[in-house]
Amino acid sequence: MTEKEKRDNGELYNPNYDEELIQEMRKTKELCYRYNNINPLNLEERKEFIKSILGNTKENVQIESNFFCDYGYNISVGENFYANHNLVILDGAKVEFGDNVFIGPNCGFYTAGHPIDIKSRNEGIEYAKPIKVGNNVWFGGNVSVMPGVTIGDNVTIGAGSVVTKDIPSNCVAYGNPCKVKREN
């Protein structure tokens, strides 16, 4: 079994020993570089170019520079998707965003994780667990979403939150770790 197959099966894998993964990441890093250097006034060019990076998009998608991801093809965004500056999506596994999702600056969505075992971690072993975000979700600035998290519909995640566990629909949640503070 290849390292990519292990990754896609949710198993521990080493991306440093799979030439296909290495080439995919290099290609995507180059595409992100090109995207981040498009003049911000060229809105149509930016809108079309971002669709060449992401796996699946609806029509109205806007991501401000700088934007970084690992593969791109594992990311899908719904209609009316907006992300402010410095969005990072480590998409070893699927990252799905619903419609009307707004992301503040300096946010990260991390499907990648590493073993606590020092020997395995030092060998470059990692895992990837999917992230799913529902419809009508707003993330304040500096939010980090960890591997395997699902966030429901109609949710506000407060600035600076670290989301380590699932967040249900129809609530406001914030903190480190992020917890539901009230229902909508």
Catalytic residues: 114
Measured CA to CA, the distance from residue 181 to residue 41 in angstroms comes to 39
Measured CA to CA, the distance from residue 169 to residue 151 in angstroms comes to 7
Phi, psi of 27 (to 5 degrees): -60, -45
Measured CA to CA, the distance from residue 109 to residue 107 in angstroms comes to 7
Element at 123 (helix H, strand E) = none
The two structure tokens encoding residue 40: 């911000």
Measured CA to CA, the distance from residue 113 to residue 133 in angstroms comes to 19
Quick check: 15 and 134 in contact, CB under 8 A? no
Quick check: 101 and 84 in contact, CB under 8 A? no
